[in-house]
Amino acid sequence: MILSVSGLDVAYGRAPVLHGIDLEIPDGGFVCLLGRNGVGKTTLLNTIMGVLSPTSGRVLLDGHDVTERPSCARVAAGMGYVPQGRDGFPHLTVAENLDVVMEASAGGDRTAVDDVLDRFPRLVPLLGRRAGNLSGGQKQQLAMARALVTRPRLLVLDEPTEGIQPSIIDEIEDALATLGQAGGLAFLLVEQYVEFALRLADTYAVMEAGRIVDSGPASSLHADDASRLLAV
């Protein structure tokens, strides 16, 4: 198991948000996490990434307990995170956005950047442009590229399709699918766009009011049922 979350309780102050979350992602697995707004999906991701501390429960990465470890240590241990919202480092160029990651996380290995640019060829002609001047879709691709430069074994994505035009969503889907086929990389995807998520994932989980209420193989969940499940 690349990621194993057990009995996770999280509270904002005294208000409990997550209740006894259990979640497992096998090596190379692709789990999508579905749920309406405000059920705690982003809170769960933030806890997995070390932004929030749980009141109880554990987060294991590759069998090692990382519950008390800071975000940067988790990334060094193989987790990559593409948080919600696409703003990167708007005052750095696209190339600098990638280099700044390469220099620490990949130990200055330039092939880490080259590999990522192969996956997102759209970024190549934009390397000299300031990240703040990119379109939404380009920014999202850059955000994913940045996370991939760290060469993660688990990539955590928070709504990568939000507010992005369909043709770019197709490109993102292709890129994720190719990455998955290449092997060695597991995914945890939070999405509102159910069809997109179910096409990519092999396992789904549904969250409601801070709990995981349903899960199973992605092929067993029809997109229409899922949409009804998520309807307000």
Beta strands in 83-202 (DSSP E): 154-158, 186-190
Q: Which of 16, 104, 195, 219 is the binder for another protein (CB under 8 A)?
A: 104
Among positions 199-228, residues that touch another protein (CB under 8 A) are: none
Span interacting with another protein, options 9-17, 52-60, 97-105, 192-200, rule CB under 8 A: 97-105
Q: Which of 10, 126, 188, 190 is the binder for another protein (CB under 8 A)?
A: 126
Q: How far apart are CA 36 and CA 63, in angstroms?
A: 30
Terminal-to-terminal C-alpha distance of the chain: 33
Span interacting with another protein, options 54-62, 123-131, 181-189, 190-198, rule CB under 8 A: 123-131
For 30, residues 6+ apart whose C-beta sits below 8 A from its C-beta are 180, 186, 187, 189, 200, 201, 202, 203, 218
Beta partners for residue 86, in sequence order? none
**136 interacts with another protein by CB under 8 A:** no
- The CB density around residue 4, as the number of other CB atoms within 10 Å, is 17
**99 interacts with another protein by CB under 8 A:** yes
Residue closest to 49 by CA, chosen among 28, 32, 66, 26: 66
Query: Could you say which DSSP state residue 42 is in?
Result: H
Tokens (6 digits) for 104 = 């620490």
Q: Are 56 and 9 in contact, with CB atoms under 8 Å apart?
A: yes
- Please say which residue, 87 or 114, places its beta carbon nearer to another protein: 87
Residue 81 CB, shortest distance to another protein, in Å, is 4
**161 interacts with another protein by CB under 8 A:** no
Among positions 10-29, residues that touch another protein (CB under 8 A) are: none
**96 interacts with another protein by CB under 8 A:** yes
Span interacting with another protein, options 99-107, 167-175, 179-187, 195-203, rule CB under 8 A: 99-107
**What is the layout of strands, in order, in the sheet containing 79-82?**
79-82, 154-158, 186-190, 30-35, 203-208, 211-217
- The CB density around residue 175, as the number of other CB atoms within 10 Å, is 20
Among positions 32-91, residues that touch another protein (CB under 8 A) are: 49, 51, 70-72, 75-76, 80-81, 83, 87-91
How does strand 203-208 pair with strand 211-217?
Answer: antiparallel
- Number of residues interacting with another protein: please give it, by CB under 8 A: 34
Residue 149 CB, shortest distance to another protein, in Å, is 8
Residues contributing to the site for another protein (CB under 8 A):
49, 51, 70-72, 75-76, 80-81, 83, 87-92, 96-97, 99-101, 103-105, 121, 124-126, 128-129, 146-147, 149-150
